[in-house]
Amino acid sequence: MDIIDAIIMRKSIRDFKADPVPKQILKEILDTATRAPSAENSQPWEFTIIAGEVLNTIRQANIEKLNSGAPSHPDLQTKGLPPESIYRRRQIEIAKQIFKLMDISREDKEKRDLWMRRGFRYFNAPAAIVVYVDRSLSYPRTLFDIGAVTQNICLAALHYGLGTCIANQGIAFPEVLYEFAGISESKRIMISIPIGYPNWDFPANKVVSTREPIEDISTWIGFE
């Protein structure tokens, strides 16, 4: 696949077919994706790739955490977007697009809650890649490198007909991943990437997120 096509075609997939993803394909994706650049070639990324019954156990444990009212506390701490900001408006816009396709009204708390829970279940993906770094590495330092390898994973997945969704929700309760995926507490869990063959009949998978025109977000200097 042409690189430009891949970048344009990549999108967040939020429902998958049940078909398992062969281990060899996941291995090839990671082999390719780890060609990503990293500061001083430090390659801070490490991965745990989860499928099968273990992934089902983790899905269930995340939902039990939610049901218990436990606040999510990902290692990747992000503050909410500033209210009334353009960033918050973009967040609302994508949510509106998805809820429209999924026929979820503003008032329908039950459907909204069910929707929110999908992310904690890795969107029913047959596999999930959890990306982490050693806690000895400074936090901001690794963010760029992890972003690069994460995007590479999502792009390489397309070559095999696979879809992905980069997801904070899947790492909201790190203790679940320590316990059931055996990830060491000495690791900072950065992101999860549910991966599988997209269910194209699922309405939310048809969403095309918008982007700002480049003229509005760029300044050009020294050109004719």
Residues that bind ligand FMN (CB under 6 A): 11-12, 14, 94, 119, 165-169, 191, 209
d(CA 27, CA 141): 26
* Residue among 124 and 220 whose Cβ is closer to ligand FMN: 124
Q: Are 157 and 5 in contact (CB under 8 A)?
A: no
Instruction: For the CB of residue 224, give the shortest distance to ligand FMN in the complex, in Å.
Output: 33
Instruction: For the CB of residue 23, give the shortest distance to ligand FMN in the complex, in Å.
Output: 25
Query: Count of alpha carbons within 13 Å of 155, Cβ hemisphere only?
Result: 20
Per-residue exposure over 47-72, b if at least 16 CB sit within 10 Å of its own CB, e if not = bbbbbeeebeebbebbeebbeeeeee
Instruction: For the CB of residue 90, give the shortest distance to ligand FMN in the complex, in Å.
Output: 8
* Residue among 23 and 197 whose Cβ is closer to ligand FMN: 197
d(CA 204, CA 208): 9
127-134/46-51 β-pairing: antiparallel
Pull the structure tokens for residue 89: 């408006």
Instruction: For the CB of residue 169, give the shortest distance to ligand FMN in the complex, in Å.
Output: 4
* Residue among 119 and 198 whose Cβ is closer to ligand FMN: 119
Instruction: For the CB of residue 119, give the shortest distance to ligand FMN in the complex, in Å.
Output: 4
Distances (CA, A) of 207 to 16, 100, 212, 220, 222: 15, 10, 16, 31, 38
Instruction: For the CB of residue 68, give the shortest distance to ligand FMN in the complex, in Å.
Output: 19
